């Protein structure tokens, strides 16, 4: 089975997303803005009357930070090297376990290490396990690699329940991040201190991973992804390239796992299990695998869905699944790919012509989403929610009884009508789009 022949997409996309020299300064401003937002965000939710931070928001933001590192490290394999892994969480979780043990050792006085540098333990743990698993997995590529990582993931997840010495069985390993050893004199008992520690490490890791894409190794990883035979003919060993990428990816996944251990102060077998691996895959793919920044967008979206929607609905994973399938079907290059598609039209200065067709798609689009959500919520209420003694409310005010037929018929009819309408509007949008991109192409050729 050959995968690289059927996959010209990512390579073409990387070229189009890679900023032109003139755009470099603009990208520096984006980085600065992102850091400023990350530093300022907790204060937007600061309760000035009680003088307290919102714990929920802080934990959610921290989760975004560490999952960003995790997803970016996943993309080092998937987007950069074309290696689809179904067991990336083993590197994350094992890094977390190493950190939990290290924190306990520091607390017991057997090891001296300031809390600020503890994530390095996780990173080195991830690196060491990455060397071991990478040696096995990178012997193959494409589907065989995916299958090996699937097997390794299942093995480690099962081992985590079997060997209680290192993994602590079902209870996991509990730890305490307040070790009393700090470079900055911070105790890390408050979650805002932990948040800023995570922001710092996220920034460091992201910058390092970004720089890594520009090293010869990063470029070679792209080369082996697109055409491994040609890379081999030039004289590079594709397996070595894959191995190095896996190793480095393990280092960063380990750092993410370490931050997880510091944030939650417990590491259980969930961190090495398949759902965790799937989260990285979903976030990366929804954000976009082609460019560097896609996984960041995807992670923000997934964590917001996870923290926000899971409070409101039992079915949040279903929404994520549907979003994922829709993205795979209609936007295989993810959110970032959708944005990048507008590049040529934006350069020709005609983006404004898209506003009206977009608005016309938006209305039936919202209707489809609304009707679908209503159907799902009614179904999940009938089977799961009703047992929990809740009543079914829409927007907090409108009462609907999902045990009667009318709301079901209405929602289903709305879904069908809106879908047909959406298809018509989407076709109209497609015609406008084609016209504009032809125009952009002509302008491009003229200049």
Q: What is the binding site for other proteins (CB under 8 A)?
A: 1, 3, 6-7, 9, 84, 136, 139-140, 142-144, 146-148, 150-152, 154-155, 158-159, 162-165, 274, 278, 281, 285, 314-315, 317-318, 320-322, 324-325, 328-329, 332, 376, 379-380, 383-384
Report the run of H or E that residue 266 belongs to, with start and end.
strand 266-267
Write down the least CB distance from residue 136 to other proteins, Å. Answer: 6
3-state secondary structure 103-165: HHHHHHCCCCCCHHHHHHHHHHHHHHHHHHHHHHHCCCCHHHHHHHHHHHHHHHHHHHHHCHH
Unique residue bearing structure tokens 């698993």: 133
What SS3 state is found at 353?
helix
Residue 37 or 162 with smaller CB distance to other proteins: 162
Contacts 24+ apart (CB under 8 A), 183-188: 183/114, 183/116, 183/117, 184/116, 186/115, 188/115, 188/262
Q: Which of 118, 114, 110, 72 is nearest to 91 (CA)?
A: 72
Write down the least CB distance from residue 144 to other proteins, Å. Answer: 5
Residue 86 or 251 with smaller CB distance to other proteins: 86
Write down the least CB distance from residue 56 to other proteins, Å. Answer: 25
Write down the least CB distance from residue 163 to other proteins, Å. Answer: 5
> Backbone phi, then psi, for 119, in 5-degree steps?
-55, -25
Residue 136 or 359 with smaller CB distance to other proteins: 136
Residue 173 pairs in a beta bridge with 267
- Other CB atoms closer than 10 Å to residue 70's CB: what's the count? 32
DSSP string, 27-96: HHHHHHHHHHHHHHHHHHT-BTTTTB--HHHHHHHHHHHHHHHHHHHHHHHHHHH----S-THHHHHHHH
Q: Which of 230, 93, 243 is nearest to 155 (CA)?
A: 93
Residue 44 or 312 with smaller CB distance to other proteins: 312
Residue 6 or 446 with smaller CB distance to other proteins: 6
Write down the least CB distance from residue 376 to other proteins, Å. Answer: 7
Write down the least CB distance from residue 90 to other proteins, Å. Answer: 12
Residue 115 or 138 with smaller CB distance to other proteins: 138
Residue 3 or 113 with smaller CB distance to other proteins: 3
Residue 50 or 388 with smaller CB distance to other proteins: 388
Write down the least CB distance from residue 27 to other proteins, Å. Answer: 28
Write down the least CB distance from residue 74 to other proteins, Å. Answer: 13
């Amino acid at each position: 089975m050959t995968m690289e022949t059927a996959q010209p997409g990512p390579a073409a996309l990387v070229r189009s997303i890679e900023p032109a020299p003139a755009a470099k300064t603009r990208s520096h401003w984006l980085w600065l803005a992102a850091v400023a937002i990350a530093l300022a965000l907790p204060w937007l939710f600061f309760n000035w009357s009680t003088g307290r931070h919102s714990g929920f928001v802080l934990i959610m933001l921290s989760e975004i930070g560490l999952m960003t590192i995790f997803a970016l490290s996943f993309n080092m394999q998937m987007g950069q090297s074309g290696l689809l892994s179904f067991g990336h969480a083993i590197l994350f979780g094992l890094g977390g376990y190493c950190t939990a043990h290290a924190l306990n050792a520091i607390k017991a006085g057997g090891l001296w290490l300031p809390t600020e540098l503890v994530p390095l333990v996780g990173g080195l743990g991830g690196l060491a396990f990455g060397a071991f698993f990478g040696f096995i997995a990178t012997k193959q590529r494409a589907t065989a690699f995916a299958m090996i990582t699937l097997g390794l993931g299942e093995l480690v997840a099962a081992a985590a329940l079997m060997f209680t010495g290192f993994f602590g069985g079902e209870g996991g390993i509990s730890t305490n991040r307040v070790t009393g050893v700090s470079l900055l004199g911070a105790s890390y008992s408050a979650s805002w201190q932990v948040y800023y520690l995570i922001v710092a490490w996220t920034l460091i890791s992201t910058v390092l991973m970004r720089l890594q894409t520009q090293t010869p190794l990063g470029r070679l990883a792209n080369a082996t992804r697109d055409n491994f035979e040609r890379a081999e003919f030039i004289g590079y060993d594709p397996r070595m390239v894959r191995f190095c990428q896996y190793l480095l990816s393990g280092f960063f996944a380990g750092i993410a796992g370490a931050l997880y251990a510091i944030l939650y102060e417990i590491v259980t077998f969930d961190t090495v299990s398949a759902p965790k691996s799937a989260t990285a895959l979903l976030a990366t793919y929804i954000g976009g695998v082609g460019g560097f920044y896609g996984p960041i967008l995807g992670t923000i979206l997934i964590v917001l869905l996870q923290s926000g929607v899971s409070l409101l609905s039992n079915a949040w994973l279903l929404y994520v699944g549907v979003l994922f399938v829709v993205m795979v079907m209609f936007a295989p290059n993810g959110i970032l790919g959708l944005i990048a598609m507008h590049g040529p039209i934006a350069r020709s200065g005609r983006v404004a012509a898209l506003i009206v067709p977009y608005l016309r798609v938006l209305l039936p689009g919202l209707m489809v989403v609304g009707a679908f959500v209503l159907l799902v919520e009614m179904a999940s209420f009938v089977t799961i929610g009703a047992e929990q003694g809740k009543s079914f409310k829409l927007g907090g005010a409108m009462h609907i009884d999902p045990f009667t037929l009318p709301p079901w018929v209405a929602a289903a009819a709305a879904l069908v009508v809106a879908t047909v309408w959406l298809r018509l509007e989407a076709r109209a949008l497609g015609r406008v789009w084609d016209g504009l991109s032809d125009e952009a192409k002509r302008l491009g050729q003229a200049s």
